[in-house]
Amino acid sequence: MPSQEFCLSPRECKPGQFWSLLAVGGLVMLGTLAAFFYLEHHGHVMTGMNNQIVWGLPHVFAVFLIVAASGVLNVASIGSVFGKKMYKARAPLSGLLAIAMLAGGLAVLVLDLGRPDRLIVAMTHYNFKSIFALNMIFYNGFFAIVGLYLLTLMDRRLNHWSKPVGLLAFLWRLALTTATGSIFGFLVARAGYNSALYAPMFIIYSFAYGLAVFILVQSVMYKWNNIQVDERILSRLKNLLAIFIAACLYFTAVLHLTNMYFAKQWEFERFILLDGGIYPLLFWGGQVFLGGILPLVMIFSRAGKSPATVFFAALLVVLGGHFQMYVTIIGGQAFPLDLFPGYAESSSFFDGVVHGYTPTIWEFLLGIGGIATAFLITTAAVRVLKFMPQDDFKDIELEAH
Amino acid sequence: MNEQNLKPDSSDRRAFLKAGAVATGTALAPGVLLFGVAQARAPGEPASDKVRWGMIIDTTKCASGCSDCVTACNTENGLSGATGPQDSQWIRKLNIRHLKSGVETSLPMLCQHCEHPPCVDVCPTGASMKRADGIVLVDRHTCIGCRYCMMACPYKARSFVHEPLTDQNPEVPRGKGCVESCTFCVQKVDRGENTTACVEACNAAGHKAMLFGDLNDPQSEIAQTMKTYATTEVRADLRLNTGVRYQGI
């Protein structure tokens, strides 16, 4: 069967470029696999992670991908659950990205395990009190439900099922992100975590990161096919992104303000916001300014209506999301545990001191392997099935009024 | 008549036998019971929840420069003793200084063998587990090396094996890619020695700052000490009901 039959339009069918895209993704994956086998052989001694910073750069990439995966599905949910046609046209791509990014994030988590060969143990032994174990159920369920959802969206005979299945997918993704946030929220002993706010905050983060990723992918696909995105569509997506960014900033502010109310949290807040070395810099400069304020300013500026501005604003949100994960995951561990409040502590096991962390190339290679996995799945799927958004502009006109 | 005469005789004999049996039983029972407790558990016999192993550490007796407990732990469990950021430390000497008064205290910090261990709660596969006798362990066969338990432990008591190991103690299997921590020298406990390497070393050095025993046995030295002296749990606010208690802080 000639490959052209799978294409959206003859213009889209650029087999050479498709293979070169796969080659780029494959090359990154090769680096990731090399890093994986290297670490599998030598152990985590070759990474910057240690007994103080137990989760490092791979987890920054992995958690970002998992959070963004659930968020990117929102585009589909707005279409199916809330009946917005413009979003419905984007539902298949949204579902595909959700599956691809979750697969990428989980791949990184698995490749970073101390015993990745025991993945089957993780799949067969469940401690149901563990939020980690529950997450495995949520993740696997997410694949199944979103897969089914895609089927109802793309098979005309099953279209009438798309609303109930879409609703299930929407509720499931809310539960999934709640559980992902709770991985940190349930860590009772650490000053940087231990807050019920983590669950809703991660949901809000997921809204912003997911939509930003969607805008980026859609922009690239449009550009690839020389299609101009309609101004009304772009305008709605960017305004929604702005609301999500503002909500992220709000939740971040509430987390730190509530922490500042508790005397026992002052030291940690001082560390993460003021004098904790690289972490305040990444927080204020990366998470808040680059990932929050700057994209907001860009979206609402005079140039905000241009596709390029929206693209770069979304790119900044994704970048800021990685800074946020770094501050949350590494910064939260870098601050020492306080075993004896009111005492200064010291030991051979680095008690009472800020823990250092210098990631190595191996961790970086593992981390970007997640992005490469998502990229490869998306590229291959977009090539063989119709994921390109198909707008009916009459509907958009109607919805606008 | 004969029968009547026989009756008191036989009842006397029965009473005598009964009394004899009771006396013998009373005399032997504690010995048999003690023998039972002191003996190693048979292979396959589960740990008993009638016992809760615990430790009391008297910080007033713990010498600040001394690290005999740490050395003994390393020797017993086959740890290298290296103290880099990626090296395992099952027990460490922690020096604390009160910020207001400046009073300094030295104490060993190890897995606190909590009744409600956060590491067990968070472990996805159930590899982190608490035995019926209160000892918190990691099942080396089901630990996938996710390190969530290390994130959850309030005492920083756990270590991750970062590199391949050689020359291990066959009694204490360890492995690259798994998390590990103090086992209360479970191999010694299961042999019926009912002590730990660190406690033995502390006693041998003459400090006698560490006491190991069954918290559930009211007659044990540890239970008596708990009853007589005020002891503290580290991070008592978390209500984990630790098996390790400290005196003098």
Supply the ipTM of this predicted assembly: 0.91
Which of A41, A44, A51, A59 to probe by mutation at the B interface, max B CB count within 10 Å?
A51
| Parallel/antiparallel/unpaired status of strands B53-58 and B128-130 | unpaired
Q: Do B142 and A118 touch (CB under 8 A)?
A: yes
Written out in words, the top-level CATH class of the domain with range B53-247 is alpha beta
Is the pLDDT at A3 greater than 50, yes or no? no
Residue A157, min C-alpha distance to chain B (Å): 40
- Token pair for residue B126? 């159930």
| Superfamily the domain A9-184+192-337+356-386 falls into | Formate dehydrogenase/DMSO reductase domain (1.20.1630.10)
Give me chain B's average pLDDT, please. Answer: 89
The A residues from 18 to 47 touching B (CB cutoff 8 Å) are 42-45
Closest CA to A204 of A259, A253, A135: A253
Task: Find which of A44, A112, A134 to mutate to test the B interface (most B CBs within 10 Å of its CB).
Answer: A44
What pLDDT was estimated at residue B84? Answer: 96
CB B213 within 8 A of CB B184: no
Enter the tokens of residue B172.
């204490």
Which long-range CB contacts under 8 A does A264-272 form with residues at least 24 apart?
A: A264/A191, A264/A341, A265/A191, A267/A191, A267/A335, A267/A338, A268/A191, A268/A192, A268/A335, A271/A331, A271/A334, A271/A335, A271/A354, A272/A192, A272/A327, A272/A331, A272/A335
Which of residues 131 through 160 in chain A touch B, CB cutoff 8 A? 131-133, 135-136
Tokens of A204: 């809000």
The Cβ-side half-sphere exposure at B129, using a 13 Å CA radius, reads 15
User: Could you give the CA distance from residue A202 to residue A157 in angstroms, rounded to a whole number?
Assistant: 36
Convert the pLDDT of each residue in B223-242 to its tens digit.
999 999 999 999 999 999 99
Distance separating the N- and C-terminal Cα atoms of chain B: 80
Structure confidence at residue B23 (pLDDT) = 62
- SS3 sequence, chain A? CCHHHHCCCCCCCCHHHHHHHHHHHHHHHHHHHHHHHHHHHHCHHHCCCCCCCCCCHHHHHHHHHHHHHHHHCHHHHHHHCCCCHHHHCCHHHHHHHHHHHHHHHHHHHHHHCCCHHHHHHHHHCCCCCCHHHHHHHHHHHHHHHHHHHHHHHHCHHHHHHHHHHHHHHHHHHHHHHHHHHHHHHCCCCCCCCCCCCHHHHHHHHHHHHHHHHHHHHHHHHHHHCCCCCCHHHHHHHHHHHHHHHHHHHHHHHHHHHHHHHCHHHHHHHHHHHHHCCHHHHHHHHHHHHHHHHHHHHHHHCHHHHCHHHHHHHHHHHHHHHHHHHHHHHHHHHHCCCCCCCCEEEEECCCCCCCCCCCCCHHHHHHHHHHHHHHHHHHHHHHHHCCCCCCCCHHHHHHHHC
Both structure tokens of B85: 């950021």
Q: Judge contact between A114 and B146, C-beta under 8 A.
A: yes
- A329-382: pLDDT as tens digits: 999 999 999 999 999 999 999 999 999 999 999 999 999 999 999 999 999 998
Whether A4 has a pLDDT exceeding 50, the answer reads no
Smallest CA-to-CA distance from B231 within B207, B214, B211, B216 is with B211
Packed helices A162-185 and A57-72: angle between N→C axes, nearest 10 degrees: 150
Chain-chain contact of A342 with B99 (C-beta, under 8 angstroms):
yes
Query: At CA A36, angle to CA A34 and CA A40, rounded to 5?
Result: 120
A1 at B interface, C-beta within 8 A: no
A347 → closest Cβ in B84, B94, B122? B94
What's the pLDDT score for residue B4? 44
Which of B159, B184, B156, B157 lies closest to B172 in space, CA to CA? B184
Q: How confident is the model at residue B17 (pLDDT cuts 50, 70, 90)?
A: low
Q: How confident is the model at residue A389 (pLDDT cuts 50, 70, 90)?
A: confident
User: What residues of chain A lie within 8 A of the CB of B99, using their CB?
Assistant: 342-344
Min Cα distance B57 → chain A (Å) is: 15
Q: At what angle do helices A91-112 and A162-185 cross, to 10 degrees?
A: 30
Q: How many CB pairs under 8 A join A and B?
A: 171
The pTM of the full predicted model, rounded to 2 decimals, is 0.90
Contacts of A227 (CB under 8 A, 6+ apart): none
Weakest mean pLDDT among A54-58, A165-169, A303-307: A303-307
Q: State the pLDDT at residue B39.
A: 56
Residues of A in contact with B100 (CB under 8 A): 342
To the nearest whole Å, the CA of B81 is away from the closest chain A CA by: 11
Do B81 and B71 touch, CB atoms closer than 8 A?
Answer: yes
Instruction: Give tens-digit pLDDT for A62-72.
Output: 999 999 999 99
Determine the residue among B94, B97, B182, B244 to mutate to test chain A binding: the one whose Cβ has the most chain A Cβ atoms within 10 Å.
Answer: B94
Q: Does A385 touch chain B (CB under 8 A)?
A: no
Residue B34 confidence class, pLDDT cut points 50, 70, 90? very low
Interface test with B, best of A106, A348, A353 (most B CBs within 10 A): A348
| H-run or E-run covering B93 | strand B91-98
Contact A349 B83 (CB under 8 A): yes
Which residues of chain B have a CB within 8 Å of the CB of A122?
A: 124-125, 144, 146
Q: Are A43 and A90 in contact (CB under 8 A)?
A: no
